[in-house]
Structure 1
Amino acid sequence: MPSNDLTLAISLRALDRLARPKRAFDDAVTWTSHIGIISSEPSFIERRRVREAGYQQDFLSGPRTIEEALASVRKHFETQRYVFVGIDEPSRARETVPGWTFQPVTDAAAAADWRVGTTPSAEDEWP
């Protein structure tokens, strides 16, 4: 059985690929120790999007690169595992930020039973 002692960082671009990103995020909160958003977008855009979506995260990347944000998160949250869910952000992060496992959003979605897509139908949003 996998450990829930996990810090999960999800890129905004990866969340955009999910059919129901808020539900996926809320689901991940139940099986992680710490969860947050990592983005290369300017801080004001990142914060606005997170606020509008209603994500209740433990951290944001702030005004820094993805690599700097992941290194900072690792220093502040001590867990057994660190996973970064993204799209194509990992190439440099994998090389420069030790200790993080990159998971493509499609693989993470399959493992967590999240739907990949861009536009949910009215039927999908039904409680």
Structure 2
Amino acid sequence: MTLAFELAALRQARDPQAVVVDARRWARNVGLLSADPAAADAFCAEHLVRRDFRARPTAWDLQDLSTQFETERYVLIGTTPDRPAYLLRQRWEYLRLADAASAAGWNLGNSETRSGRWLTAWLNQVLRIRD
């Protein structure tokens, strides 16, 4: 299987690295779709996510992935309730993140929000000490 995550979907995982590591147990290729390559690279570096590919969410890029990676299935995990218009109907399946997380046992909860709260709490503590 070739499995692609929309960047927005992977951002909602509590531990994005653990999600990708788990997905590698049953998917041959795991990658990321993002309209902003720099944001995708930064996210992967920050969360130590190893990916086999990065592509833009376009029919052209998905067609290219289908020919580059010969697998029995191609699945996109995203956040929208409906199948994205750019997703090729002939080869690619669509799975909502909530459904995939439920089936795989992944914990959701924005890791960036948690780290932001941690940073705010830490800053508050530091500032109180200096008062």
TM-score bin, normalised by smaller chain: 0.7 to 0.9
Quick check: 1:24 aligned with 2:16? no
Quick check: 1:80 aligned with 2:72? yes
8 Å Cα contact 1:83/1:100 also seen in 2: yes
Q: TM-score w.r.t. structure 2 length?
A: 0.76
Q: Which runs of 5+ in 1 are unaligned?
A: 1-5, 122-127
Counterpart selection for 2:8 from 10, 13, 21: 13
| Bigger Rg over Cα | 2
Aligned residue pair count: 113
Q: TM-score w.r.t. structure 1 length?
A: 0.78
CA distance in 1, matches of 2:86, 2:17: 25
Q: Which runs of 5+ in 2 are unaligned?
A: 115-131
RMSD over aligned CA atoms reads 2.2
More helix by share: 2
Q: Percent identity?
A: 29
CA distance in 2, matches of 1:90, 1:67: 13
Letter in 1 for 2:84: S
Quick check: 1:98 aligned with 2:93? no
Offset, 1:97: 5.0
